[in-house]
Amino acid sequence: MDSENPWSVPVVVAQIPETGLHRDIAASSNQRSALAALGGLREVMSVNASLDLALMREGRVHVTGRVKARVGQTCVVTLDPIENEIDEAIDLVFSPPEQVPALADLVDDAAESDAEIADPPEPIVDGSIDLGRLATDALFLGVDPHPRKPGAVFDLPVTPDDPEDHPFAALKALKPAADLSDSKKAKGD
């Protein structure tokens, strides 16, 4: 298992039928553990994807579907363990690598107009599309970077109204009275 790509499910583009291809994939226990480590998660309880691949002209492939997962994280406020559901849509076009720069230029040109901008295509690598890698990317995009337990609220420390009521006020009481009068003279009091 590759530590950078622990969930690999390659589909050879040449083997996709004209009518398209549907794949339901789920990560194994070992793959989920590796995904949790890679994504900085406490745990990945489940992750699966339902994907449809449709052939397009000029060797391109349109991939649509969903990735659903249940992940364990730590609340950023209470530090309690929490679980989150992830449901991410996938809608990407893959193309042969030699087409990617030209298609990316078309996207850049569209950005200068008011037209709706499509994402540039992803490259087809070595004649295949890795559905596991695609699902992993969608999973990590859906992870909440600052998970909070329901009802958890971070309260900012209250600033005291009295200037003598601050964290170092108790230290002032420890200072001898003679030092206090000297410091007042130095300030011009």
Is 23 contained in some domain? yes
Rg of the chain's alpha carbons, rounded to an integer? Answer: 28
Rounded distance between C-alpha atoms, residue 74 and residue 146, angstroms? 9
The model's pTM is 0.72
Q: How many CB atoms lie within 10 A of CB 93?
A: 17
pLDDT digits (tens, 9 = 90+) for 159-182: 656 666 666 766 766 766 555 555
Is 133 contained in some domain? yes
Is 79 contained in some domain? yes
Is residue 47 classed as helix, strand or coil in its secondary structure?
strand
Q: Whole domain around residue 19: which residue ranges? A: 10-142
pLDDT digits (tens, 9 = 90+) for 73-128: 998 888 899 999 999 999 999 999 887 666 555 555 555 555 555 677 899 999 99
Is 150 contained in some domain? no
The pLDDT, as a whole number, for residue 104 is 56
141 vs 76, more confident:
141
136 vs 109, more confident:
136
Is 165 contained in some domain? no
Is residue 172 classed as helix, strand or coil in its secondary structure?
helix
Is 24 contained in some domain? yes
Q: What domain count does the chain have? A: 1
Give the pairing type, strands 122-123 and 81-95.
Answer: parallel
Q: Is 116 exposed, middle or buried (0-12, 13-18, 19+ CB in 10 A)?
A: exposed
Q: Tokens 């226990």 — which residue?
A: 29
Is 166 contained in some domain? no
Is 31 contained in some domain? yes
